[in-house]
Every structure is written in C-alpha cells, then in structure tokens.
C-alpha cells in the first residue's frame, strides 16, 4: 500500500483518487476551495464535475496542503495547468528529497514556453517529477471503463513504480522515457481539438474532422521532433491516441468550447458555458510562439489563435485552411 496525495479535487483528481483507492492505497485529496472540500466530505461525490461517481468513504478530503503533501509515497498534481506553478510553489516546503510528483494536467506556460514538468522541477528542485497522460476522460475512468495511459519519467525505476501503483484490470499503464514528447502531445492536441469542435459547430462532417486530426498530428509531430521529442511518442497513446479522444468525445471540454465558437460564441462566452478550464485556450498562444521559435509551420494552430484572440469567424478560418497553396502530403517521399 502506498500513501498518496492528490493535489486538486477536480474531475480528473477525483477520478484518479478513485483508481488509487480501488487499488488499495491510502488516498488524501486536497482542494483550495472550502466549499468543495465540504461537499466531498459530506456527499462523497463531486456533484459539479464528476456527477454519478461515488467516491469511497476511505478517501480523505482536506483543505490543508501540508496534510495532502507531506510524507507521501507519491503525489499527483492535478490542478489546471495555469495553476501548476503557483501550486507547486506552495507545495515546496512539504516535499522531501526525491519525492515522486506526478503531473497529470496538460499545458504549456505561455510566458516561459515551459512544459508543466519543467515548471514543477523549477519550483520543487527536490522532486522526482513524472507525468501520467493518454486518451482518458475522467467521466469514463470514474465509471471504471477500460482506459490506457502512459507513465513518463526520467528513470525507468520511477516510471515502473507509477505503473505499479496505478495499474489494474481496467486501468492499463505503459511506461516511457520521452516525457517531453508526452507533454507536447498532451498540450498541443487540446488546440487541435478546439479546431475539431469549431468544425462540428459549423455543421461540417466526418471528412473535415478526419482531415483536422490527421493534419493536426502532423503539425504537433513536426514541432515536437524539432524540440527533441521522439516521433514514436507522437504516433502513440499520448499523441495520436490523446488527439483522437479529445477531438471526438462528448466529454471533451476543448471540443465543446470549439463547437460553441463554431456556433458563434466568443471565446469567453464559450469558456463560461463549459464551466471548466479549457486548457487549449491557454496553450494556443504558447504553441504559436514555439512554432516561431523552431521555425515550424502550424497553419491549423495559427487559425485557431486567430479565432480565439482576433475574433476571426471560424468559418473563415476553415476556408483559409482549405485554400492554402498546393502542397504534397509527405515531403520525405520521392517520385520515381
């Protein structure tokens, strides 16, 4: 049995708490919101973010960061990406040397262009930072539907420990050393999912979505490889797998926000309607900045940024993508 702390009581934090509890581990979940802690203690269900999923009475819910972080075998950092740095800074006094901290949010910091694991390492130098991601919606994990993720870490030992702690008959975990590739795939697919949602909102069909997914993963892959990630990762669970589920699922908040924008909502109106953090909005500017830094063409992500921040109609963005200059699909293939 492992002592585990979940920092963040949103849908994903609660779903992972349920997984760890079912695996026989001791689980403490922290939230900064007093009303949220009270609701979880009284109802053992997150009625707003994970309705219908009953959380075990053995799970401890607390508003004390010290209680959730100090002396744990493993800590899961599950706050939205925009709060990763501030939360990690508050956690730092309670983290011992080589403490495993697993980041499960997805995003890139706009100001620094740092991945979340880099941010945590900067704020908590003592931590052994890892990531856990893949095609997974909290709603399905909470209902114990079969799900497969990847544990990424600097060392095989850490990745395999995380794999052992989380894995069960409905929650399969692979391991990978390519933390950068995993994080880039997880963050940038949210931007592509906004585009897929916009296409849905405009009433376009499966042909359009298939094109966005395929060309979207090409954009993500070009950038990720230029930054030092491995192409295999982009073609795996944390790349194309995560992109497919986020572009297609009714649970996807990025797809839903994009759909609303396709229907004519502004970015802020869409985010207000979704009522949860839309990570793709926070990663979109960072993605463009990274593309410029590494001189990578990212036409889909560029158009998403224009819809988000320049009030460009989604229909015009799709039209511009369709009317780009003629291209060959794979520049590495040669004619006979």
> What pLDDT is attached to residue 96?
96
* pLDDT the model gives residue 55: 97
Residue pointed to by tokens 């463009």: 288
Element (H, E) at 147: strand 147-152
- Averages of pLDDT over runs of 10 residues in the chain (336 residues) are 97 98 98 96 94 96 98 97 96 97 95 96 98 96 97 98 98 98 95 93 92 93 96 96 92 91 91 84 92 95 94 89 80 84
Give pLDDT, residue 290: 96
Token readout for 164 is 């052992």
Cβ contact 187:106 at 8 Å: yes
Q: What pLDDT does 267 receive?
A: 87
Q: What is the DSSP letter of 210?
A: H
Q: What is the pLDDT of residue 249?
A: 87
Q: Tell the residue number behind the tokens 């933390």, with chain if given.
A: 179
Residue 323: per-residue pLDDT: 76
Half-sphere exposure of 303 (CA within 13 A, CB side): 27
Is 196 in contact with 209 (CB distance < 8 Å)?
yes
Q: What is the pLDDT of residues 80-108, one digit of tens each?
A: 999 999 999 999 999 999 999 999 999 99
- Identify the CA nearest to 32 among candidates 87, 105, 103: 87
Residue 189 annotated among the catalytic residues of the structure: yes
The pLDDT, as a whole number, for residue 70 is 97
The confidence score (pLDDT) of residue 28 equals 98
State pLDDT tens for residues 34-56: 999 999 999 999 999 999 999 99
Secondary element (H or E) of residue 106: none
Per-residue model confidence (pLDDT) at position 271: 87
Residues in the chain: 336
Residue 297: per-residue pLDDT = 92
Distance CA 131, CA 158 (A): 10
| Residue 108: other Cβ atoms inside 10 A | 28
CA 104 to chain centre: 7
Annotated catalytic residue: which of 47, 66, 90, 189? 189
Domains recognised in the chain with CATH numbers: 3-177 (3.40.50.720), 180-322 (1.10.1040.10)
């Amino acid at each position: 049995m492992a002592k585990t702390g979940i920092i963040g009581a949103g849908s994903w934090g609660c779903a992972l708490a349920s997984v760890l509890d079912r695996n026989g581990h001791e689980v403490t979940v922290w939230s900064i919101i007093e009303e949220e802690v009270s609701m979880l203690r009284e109802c053992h269900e997150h009625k707003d973010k994970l309705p219908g999923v009953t959380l075990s009475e053995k799970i401890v819910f607390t508003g004390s960061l010290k209680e959730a972080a100090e002396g744990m075998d493993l800590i899961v950092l599950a706050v939205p990406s925009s709060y990763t740095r501030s939360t990690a800074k508050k956690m730092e006094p309670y983290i011992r040397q080589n403490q495993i901290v697993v980041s499960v949010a997805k995003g890139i910091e706009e100001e620094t262009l740092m991945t979340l694991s880099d941010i945590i390492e900067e704020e908590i130098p003592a931590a052994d930072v890892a990531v856990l991601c893949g095609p997974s919606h909290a709603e399905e994990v909470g209902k114990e539907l079969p799900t497969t993720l990847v544990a990424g870490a600097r060392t095989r030992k850490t990745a395999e420990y995380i794999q052992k702690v989380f894995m069960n008959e409905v929650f399969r975990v692979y391991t990978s050393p390519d933390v950068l590739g995993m994080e880039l795939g997880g963050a940038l697919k949210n931007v592509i999912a906004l585009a897929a949602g916009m296409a849905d909102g405009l009433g376009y069909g499966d042909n359009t979505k298939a094109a966005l997914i395929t060309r979207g993963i090409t954009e993500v892959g070009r950038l990720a490889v230029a930054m030092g990630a491995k192409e295999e990762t982009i073609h795996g669970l944390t790349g194309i797998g995560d992109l497919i589920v986020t572009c297609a699922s009714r649970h996807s908040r990025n797809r839903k926000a994009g759909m609303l924008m396709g229907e004519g909502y502004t970015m802020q109106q869409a985010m207000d309607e979704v009522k949860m953090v839309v990570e793709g909005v926070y990663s979109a500017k960072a993605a463009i900045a990274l593309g410029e830094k590494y001189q990578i063409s990212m036409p889909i992500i560029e158009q998403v940024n224009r819809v988000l921040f320049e009030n460009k109609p989604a229909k015009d963005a799709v039209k511009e993508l369709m009317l780009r200059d003629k291209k060959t699909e794979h520049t590495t293939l040669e004619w006979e």
